Amino acid sequence: MGNIEILDVSGDLGIKVLAANLEDVFSTAAIGLYSLTTGIDSIEPLTTVQVNVTEDSVERLLVAWLNELIYLLDTNGFIGKQVTLMSLDDRHISAEIIGESFNPEKHDSGFLIKAATYHKLRLDKSDPGWSAEIIFDI
């Protein structure tokens, strides 16, 4: 798992992910998203959800992946704690997310995230690994 840094962007919120490989970028970004919405330690691994996303580039795939997770939270109340990537390439991701339904009596309310955006999106590979910066519309 990679490292997450919260980015304060005028009127929005973002995360910077540092990871050893592309798989860790995607899984760490998902955990970063969930940690912005609630205290991740309070989430219990009660339900498993399958997520499959396809896009035409790896950058678009990262944004679409995070937006799919936001959609699952908005429509089903599902919030994840563990992310297991089944497959990942430049155009497709398949993963299992383990978590539970958000319960305001049990889970702290963090930021209400509307969407992952392309604004200032960065996804770079360098010698020590990968880095990504994703801005969320709140």
Provide the domain count of the chain.
1
First-residue to last-residue Cα distance in the chain: 25
Range of the domain at 89: 3-137
Residue pLDDT, tens place only, 10-30: 678 999 999 999 999 999 999
Mean pLDDT estimate for the chain: 93
| CB within 8 Å of 105: residues ≥ 6 apart | none
pTM assigned to the model: 0.92
In terms of Cβ atoms closer than 10 Å to its own Cβ (0-12, 13-18, 19+), residue 130 is buried
CATH of residue 119's domain is 3.55.10.10
Contact in structure between 78 and 70 (CB atoms under 8 Å)? no
DSSP state of 40: G
- Alpha-carbon gap, residue 87 to 134, rounded angstroms: 21
